[in-house]
Amino acid sequence: MATLRLGDTAPDFIQESSIGVIGFHSWLGNSWGILFSHPADFTPVCTTELGVTAKLADEFKKRNVKVIALSVDSVSSHLGWIKDINETQSTVVNFPILEDADRKVSVLYDLIHPNASTTNTVRSVHVIDPSKKIRLILTYPASTGRNFHEILRVIDSLQLTEYHSVATPANWKDGDDVVILPSITDPDELLSKFPKGFRSIKPYLRFTPQPNK
């Protein structure tokens, strides 16, 4: 399987999970999806990551995002670990964790990087849109926990830029001004798409209030 790239269709699979067998595409339905892998169950950084993700359930739901985790450990290991996460992180893990002892999903999504670890999955995130296209791929080292507010921020940007002719600048967060796509130059189109007006700093650098606010 070639390396996955942005815009590729997210590979479908059927795999066991902590909530039973999951057919990935049909489980996603019309939602956005986040598939995130972690190196192993019963490890400290992963425990905090899954706890934070569980606590952000309402934020994911608001954005129509379904979350699913994965490691190469078994379902019985996941179920034991979920109890620990709930206890130590004061939350309830409310999303499935895929098992991947047979490496089926790890191979499809290139989640084992042999120079990092020959046995464990890396810390990757795949964001998938409702048409099942991959929109973001992130890979972190085992020693660094991910920032799940950053993942929500990217989803906000993806969902905004999908429907408006804008892009989001560095460190943008929901509600901040955005930049107008350089391809939009027709004055009538600018007026109709950006009725709140815009500031032009350079012809290619034009800021406008976030259109959907």
Instruction: List the one residue from 22, 34, 46, 85 that touches ligand BEZ (CB under 6 A).
Output: 46
In the complex, least distance from residue 81 CB atom to ligand BEZ, rounded to whole angstroms: 11
Q: How far is the CB of 111 from ligand BEZ (least distance, A)?
A: 14
**Of 124, 81, 78, 79, residue with least CA distance to 100:** 78
Residue 43 found at the interface with ligand BEZ (CB under 6 A): yes
Q: In whole angstroms, how far apart are CA 28 and each of 9, 108, 199?
A: 13, 17, 40
The residue with tokens 């620990």 is 84
> Which residues have CB under 8 Å from 45's CB, separation 6+?
142, 143, 144, 145
Ranges of H-type helices in 23-73: 24-28, 44-55, 57-62
Alpha carbon distance 179, 191 (integer Å): 15
Instruction: Write each residue from 59 to 98 as x if it is in contact with ligand BEZ (CB under 6 A), else as -, in one continuous string.
Output: ----------------------------------------
128 binding ligand BEZ? (CB under 6 A): no
Report the residue number, 123 or 135, with the smaller CB distance to ligand BEZ.
123
Judged by CB under 6 A, which stretch of 36-44, 80-88, 127-135, 158-166 contacts ligand BEZ? 36-44
Residue 165 binds to ligand BEZ (criterion: CB under 6 A): no
Let me know if 59 is a catalytic residue: no
> Which residue of 26, 118, 143, 183 would you call a contact of ligand BEZ, by CB under 6 A?
143
Determine which one of 10, 22, 34, 46 is catalytic.
Answer: 46
Are 97 and 17 spatial neighbours (Cβ–Cβ below 8 Å)? yes
CB of 44 to ligand BEZ, least distance (A): 4
- H/E stretch holding 113 reads none
- What number of CA atoms fall less than 13 Å from residue 206's CA on the CB side? 16
State the residues that interact with ligand BEZ by CB under 6 A.
Answer: 39-40, 43-46, 142-143
Residues known to be catalytic: 46
